[in-house]
Amino acid sequence: MEVRDRAPERGRVPSIRDVARLAGVSHQTVSRVLNDHPSIRPETKDRVLDAIAVLDYRPNRAARALVTSRSDVIGVLSATVGEFGPTSSMAAIEEAARVEGYSVTTLNLPDTGPDAIGAAVRQLVREQVSGIVVLAPQVRVFHVLRGLAIDVPFVSLQTASGATADTLSADQVAGARLATQHLIDLGHRDIVHLAGPQDWIEAESRMRGYLDALFDADLPTIPPIRGDWTADFGHFAGLELARRGDMTAVFAANDLMAIGLMHGFRDAGVDVPGDVSVVGFDDIPVAAHVWPTLTTIHQDFPELGRRAIALLLAEIRGEQRPVFGPLAPRMLTRDSSAAPGRR
Amino acid sequence: MEVRDRAPERGRVPSIRDVARLAGVSHQTVSRVLNDHPSIRPETKDRVLDAIAVLDYRPNRAARALVTSRSDVIGVLSATVGEFGPTSSMAAIEEAARVEGYSVTTLNLPDTGPDAIGAAVRQLVREQVSGIVVLAPQVRVFHVLRGLAIDVPFVSLQTASGATADTLSADQVAGARLATQHLIDLGHRDIVHLAGPQDWIEAESRMRGYLDALFDADLPTIPPIRGDWTADFGHFAGLELARRGDMTAVFAANDLMAIGLMHGFRDAGVDVPGDVSVVGFDDIPVAAHVWPTLTTIHQDFPELGRRAIALLLAEIRGEQRPVFGPLAPRMLTRDSSAAPGRR
DNA sequence: TTGTATGCGTTATCAA
DNA sequence: TTGATAACGCATACAA
């Protein structure tokens, strides 16, 4: 037996065979230890684990991926460039996945046409991701995904109309209801909704909560304005609504639009909250500091991300799905942008 | 020859051998085509390319990674949770990398201690990433990286004190100079700097630009305030500076702090820009919509991301480094937060 | 309970 | 210019 055979070259990363040699077993036994195979003698296992520790051995992911056709990579399909919420969830997703030994690869959707979605998913499947988190809250992304019938587990971070087991989100409807009810409680009767894009599921949910609250309070509904989530659009909407003047309060579907809206009102000489009250949604970091300070709905985006990973990993491993309590949005009454309505 | 041998199973992804069979060559020849090997007959190459197209063949990345010890994955090391700039660069990085056939994996640094940095880099190296983009603008991250002497190419998206070839950034010093000069041009003499954290390279650069401008104009320097980039801290600083009252203008190192600062001034009864002018840095989406609208410095973060990938890929492929023109920050004079100083 | 042999899809080495 | 053959590091039948 040659010495060269026993001593791994310096600097080379140890392989399963190095571990086997050191532990005095076959590389196959090491593999069993690594994969928690049931039938293995405890003391053998300990010897192997010791060797693993000594060599600081870590399985080669490429080799494992090659043979299993699975990669221990979670793919994140994102269509939310710079949105505050999804971005906040992302960090949590990444961290939670790493803790469980998965790495995360991101793929941004340039547009949300069916072709682009299909191509993106195929790309991730080709990279043999173990699972996919969808951070693309557009309705059609959701439908396309369902239609693709991919064999990779996926979790969608959004509210589906009929929320199913593989979707997750804070209760957007309840949050929007809170916001609207707050305005109603302040005595407002003519409340306009500055909504998100038609294609977005969360936009629909927030609109629903708004409509529900109005309905329950027996208040008239005014046609909502369709925005695009941006502050620029909010500004435009403010100018427009100031011209119409048919409301005393606006519930904006997100803070960015709410801030732009207040800017538009300001430009048009409409006082907030003197003439019109405004409530936002999301609680972005500047919400507490703009003028007027923004009353809004706070959501726990990181927790949402963590839950997404928990759900996805259960799916991947074939374990039982965790059951989560409701993730209730919270009302932040800063009450500078919203004031009692004039009777 | 059996038919079973020629017809790949339905649904199975085609391998290099399927292509070889269809093209009537050996799998090795296909490999040569894939890797642009010089010595190959053009017509053979065409046959192979045809077969590739017909089968819609794509190389298996795991197999390739296994044999080459390289993964076609770019690792992004990030220590900038939710910062506007880095987040904007991220999307561009991801897109640019994918266009070139690389996928992107992100790794967030929970803290920036040397141990955490080392562990993170080792993790990425273990995953056999082809290169690393560092989005962690803290000074010590930079030093630790240098010290690690990793054999994986990396690019750092930040301004180093002595900018070297492997760092990239907009000219922060010039931007800060612009901002400060703007205030000087408005007639201000007592200008305070609300700086970023001491550990951050960009904070240092912006401070330098500020100091340079003051020096050139022969103006007195006032000790800067060290902030943490957050709007909350800006608010605190506003209250504090209002008490001091020893300045007529503040240059905040980022927009978030600038907005919080204006909030603090407002709470303290200090009028912006009547009593004190404020200029920010970054041009975040709400900057144009807060009140007062924020005069600030605009940076092209996506372009920064694209350049990072171009530089990194050149390094990885051993090609010549691309030479970029200066990426000059731009002054956005919204001039509501900043007004002429009283003499 | 453990070991042997085989193959995953690709690149690299060598020979033709 | 091409092809046969051997790795890469691991998991998975199958045998012992």
Looking at residues A117-125, what average pLDDT do you find?
84
What class, spelled out in words, does domain B172-299 have in CATH? alpha beta
Which of B73, B105, B231 lies at the smallest CB-CB distance from A285?
B231
**For residue B60, which residues of chain A lie inside 8 Å, CB to CB?**
66
Residue A262: what pLDDT?
A: 97
Nearest CB to A256 within list B58, B108, B286: B286
pLDDT tens track for A176-185:
999 999 999 9
Six-digit token string for B221: 């320097």
Which token pair is B25? Answer: 């060559």
Query: In this complex, do A290 and B128 lie within 8 Å of one another by their Cβ atoms?
Result: no
pLDDT at B16: 87
Pick the residue of B289, B290, B336 with the most A CBs within 10 A to test the interface with A by mutation.
Answer: B289
Answer yes or no: do B98 and A81 touch at CB < 8 A. Answer: no
Helices (H), B56-200: 61-68, 84-99, 114-126, 139-148, 172-185
Amino acid at residue number A267: D
Task: Calculate the angstrom distance between C1' of C7 and CA of A144.
Answer: 36
- Tell me the CATH class for B71-170+301-327: alpha beta
Distance, Å, B42 CA → D2 C1': 13
Which two structure tokens, joined as six digits, stand for A195?
A: 């909504």
In this prediction, residue A145 has a pLDDT band, given cuts at 50, 70 and 90, of: confident
Do residues B189 and B222 make contact, with C-beta atoms less than 8 angstroms apart?
no
Is the distance from CB of B333 to CB of B280 less than 8 angstroms? no
A141 versus B220: the higher-pLDDT residue is B220
pLDDT band (50, 70, 90) for residue A160? very low
Quote the mean pLDDT of chain A: 86
Task: Provide the pLDDT for residue B78.
Answer: 87
Q: Cα(A255)–Cα(B263) distance, rounded to whole angstroms?
A: 17
Query: Could you tell me the two tokens for B242?
Result: 């209002």
CB contact under 8 A, A235 and B289: yes
Q: How confident is the model at residue A191 (pLDDT cuts 50, 70, 90)?
A: very high
Distance from CA of A186 to the nearest CA of B (A): 25
State residue B3's pLDDT score: 29
**Chain B hits for A63, Cβ within 8 Å:** 62, 66
Q: Is the pLDDT of residue A225 over 80?
A: yes
Question: What CA–CA distance (Å, rounded) separates A248 from A96?
Answer: 44
Best CA proximity match to A255, nearest among A205, A298, A310: A298
Alpha-carbon distances, residue A64 vs A58, A156, B66, B127 (angstroms): 11, 27, 9, 12
> Higher model confidence: residue B182 or residue B64?
B182
The separation, in Å, between residue B70 CA and nucleotide C13 C1' comes to 19
Q: What percentage of chain B has pLDDT greater than the value 90?
A: 41
Residue range(s) occupied by CATH 1.10.260.40 in chain B: 16-67
Which of residues A255 and B3 earns the better pLDDT score? A255
Grade residue B2 by pLDDT with cuts at 50, 70 and 90. very low
Given an 8 Å threshold on Cβ–Cβ distance, is B256 in contact with A285?
yes
Confidence (pLDDT) at B342: 66
Examine the pLDDT at B6 and tell me if it is beyond 70.
Answer: no
Per-residue pLDDT, B139: 76
pLDDT average, residue stretch A69-79: 87
Query: Which residue type occupies A268?
Result: A
The residue among A133 and B9 whose pLDDT is bigger is A133
Scanning every strand, the nucleotide with its C1' closest to B65's CA turns out to be C10
At residue A34, the pLDDT reads 84
Residues in chain A: 343
pLDDT value, residue A167: 57
Give the mean pLDDT of B96-105.
Answer: 91
pLDDT confidence tier of residue B122, bands split at 50, 70 and 90:
confident
Who has greater pLDDT, B278 or B85? B278
Choose from A30-44, A116-130, A298-312 the range with maximum mean pLDDT. Answer: A298-312
Predicted pLDDT at A342: 66
CA of B65 to C1' of C11 (A): 10
> Protein A125 CA to nucleic acid D10 C1', in Å?
21
Which residue spans of chain B are classified as CATH 3.40.50.2300? 71-170+301-327, 172-299
Long-range contacts made by residues A96-103, C-beta under 8 angstroms, separation at least 24? A96/A305, A96/A306, A96/A309, A96/A310, A97/A309, A98/B107, A98/B123, A100/A309, A100/A313, A101/A72, A102/A72, A102/A73, A102/A74, A102/A130, A102/A313, A103/A72, A103/A73, A103/A74, A103/B105, A103/B107, A103/B127
In this predicted structure, what is the pLDDT of residue B320? 85
| Predicted confidence (pLDDT) at residue B8 exceeds the cutoff of 50 | no
Answer whether residue A13 shows pLDDT above 90.
no
Closest CB from A62, A91, A98 relative to B66: A62
CB contact under 8 A, A63 and B66: yes
pLDDT digits (tens, 9 = 90+) for B20-41: 888 888 888 888 888 888 878 8
Asked if pLDDT for residue B17 goes beyond 90, the answer is no
Residues of B in contact with A256 (CB under 8 A): 285-286
- pLDDT given at position B13: 78
pLDDT range class, residue B169, cuts 50, 70, 90: low
Q: Which pLDDT score is estimated for A150?
A: 72
Report chain C positions within 7 A of protein CB atoms: 1-5, 7-13
A204 or B149: whose pLDDT is higher?
Answer: A204
Q: What is the pLDDT of residue A85?
A: 83
At residue A95 the predicted structure's pLDDT band, cuts being 50, 70 and 90, is very high
Q: Which residues of chain B does A13 touch, with a Cβ-Cβ cutoff of 8 Å?
A: 126
Rounded-to-integer distance, Cα A31 and Cα A54, Å: 17
The separation, in Å, between residue B28 CA and nucleotide C15 C1' comes to 14
Identify the CATH assignment for B16-67 out of 3.30.420.10, 1.10.260.40, 3.30.70.100, 1.10.10.10. Answer: 1.10.260.40
* Over residues A18-45, mean pLDDT: 85
B231/A87 CB distance under 8 A: no
Element (H, E) at B309: helix B301-317
Residues in chain B with CB shorter than 8 Å from the CB of A239 are none
**Contact assignment for A66 to B82 by CB distance below 8 Å:** no
Determine the distance in angstroms separating the CA of B116 from the nearest CA of chain A, rounded to an integer.
13
pLDDT for B168 equals 57
Q: How far is B302 from chain A (nearest CA, A)?
A: 12
pLDDT digits (tens, 9 = 90+) for B231-277: 999 999 999 999 999 999 999 999 999 999 999 999 999 999 999 99
Asked whether the beta carbons of residue B290 and residue A290 sit closer than 8 angstroms, the reply is yes
Cβ contacts below 8 Å, chain A against chain B, sum to: 130
Q: Which whole number is the average pLDDT over A100-120? A: 84
Q: What is the pLDDT of residue A7?
A: 44
Distance in Å, alpha carbon of A103 to nearest chain B alpha carbon: 7
Give the pLDDT of residue B7.
Answer: 44
